[in-house]
Copies of this chain bind each other. A is one copy, B any other.
Amino acid sequence: MSKVQPRTLSGFMELLPPQQMQMERMMEVLRGIYGRYGFTPLDTPLIEASEVLLAKGGGETEKQIYRFQKGDADLSLRFDLTVPLAKYVALHYGELSFPFRRYQIGKVYRGERAQRGRFREFYQADIDVIGDGKLDISSEAEIPSIIYHAFTALGLKRFRICVNNRKVLSGFYASLGLTGQSAGIMRTVDKLDKIGSEKVADILTGELGIAPELAAEILRFTAINGRNEEVLASLEEYRGRNPLLDQGLDELNTVVKYLSAFGVPESHFAVDLAIARGLDYYTGTVYETTMLDHPEIGSICSGGRYDNLAEYYTDKQLPGVGISIGLTRLFFVLAEQGYLNEAMPTAPADVLVLPMTGDLSPAISAATALRQRGIRVQVHAEQKKFKQKLSFADKLKIPFVLLLGEDEISQGKVSLKDMHTGRQELLTLDNAALQIAQAAGAAGNTPIRDKGE
């Protein structure tokens, strides 16, 4: 029979079992943390009617979309989890309670140009809080605090969440008489870390036609830095120039105050006036998250406050705040940079049971008893040499092998071999179970191994 060459499409991540275990553990940690903050899981279709998914229309994204016909239907694969959330909330508005807090971890699709580290199918892990008409400012502090706790639970240590407020920026630009140009200025200032202040000044004075002294003021404002209290103190000097600016300053102060009540240490967040986010969509607090030892990677988790989640579907005013982790890219970057924790157990089982008798029943019964205690067990019943079975355990990093031959059976015991030390002991099944369970419990289980603080 002629064969088809098996292959996986480029831009689609497909992991080997140990790495997949790490990825699963990351998702499990995120589900746990998101749940602890009172977010409910959501799952929406990967396919939506194009008319619904592209209601907003236009933009760079539309070119990248996987769009196709099936029968009469014009369909598209989702390219993020925000548009499906907007649809969901508009559609089920009457059945939801607000503020509505949901998380969603799911795949999205963008037909980007294929290149290393860019994915066409990737997981996003999103959280959003949606208010009905209004939403209290405290959510704007809670969202980054969840990210702090999530990354910490994953094992990441050296990262910082940068916080800014678009009202501060818009209000400040307005105070310079540049009200109409707010969006353009923000998009330009957002490029500071990529293109530097000189090129930003060139664009501000050239393309945007802003007077050089105002461009200089903008850059001076953006460059304010120091400890959070110092930045906030410096900003007080701008108070009174514009009502929106003042409101933004109040919000920023409140967010900083609540961040510490939410348990985020000062070392892990910074007021950064250079963070603007390119999207017009954001209206208040905005976030970016950087790895301190790898600023070149850019933000690994971004988001912000918006005033109108679902304006394309409903007249209801639905303000919200959300943040998104690009999980597939983050995983790729962590693997590249050597951050995956090799000490995290990735074996498919805690023990490999090796039957040494023709009738497998005693070995199977032992495996059943171990599994009833919550231990993960494989039974290796193939006709192979003993040495090959040990090397199977070794290759999969299964920490224990349990042998059951006539001798053991007649004594009502089992032989337990510790694959690390090579030591083999004759034990009761209960004692073997205890030893296996203890070792499984003691193993570290953060998927990320970071340098200490």
Interface residues, chain A, with chain B CB atoms under 8 Å away: 1, 3-9, 12-17, 20-21, 23-24, 35-49, 51-52, 55, 66, 68-71, 73, 75, 86-88, 90-92, 95-97, 99, 101-102, 107, 109, 111, 121, 131, 134-136, 138-139, 141-142, 145, 149, 257-258, 261-263, 310-315, 348-349, 352, 360-362, 364-365, 367-368, 371-372, 374-383, 392, 395-396
Contact = CB atoms under 8 A, between A and B. Distances in A.
Contacts of A360: 138, 258, 261
A136 B383 contact: yes
A349 B5 CA distance: 49
Contacts of A134: 382-383
A7 B46 contact: no
A376 B17 contact: no
B49 A7 contact: yes
A375 B46 contact: no
Contacts of A75: 9, 66
Given A24-B41, A91-B6, A396 B97 contact: yes
A101 B3 contact: no
Given A9-B49, A36-B377, A361 B257 contact: yes
A348 to B, nearest CB: 4
Nearest to A369: B263
Contacts of A380: 99
A145 to B, nearest CB: 8
A14 B44 contact: yes
Contacts of A362: 261
B3 A371 contact: no
A440 B86 CA distance: 31
A102 B396 CA distance: 13
Nearest to A380: B99
B313 A4 contact: yes
B97 A3 contact: no
Contact of A263 (B46, B87, B372): B372
13 contacts: A5-B52, A21-B41, A35-B376, A36-B375, A39-B348, A46-B107, A66-B75, A97-B396, A99-B382, A134-B383, A138-B381, A142-B379, A262-B368
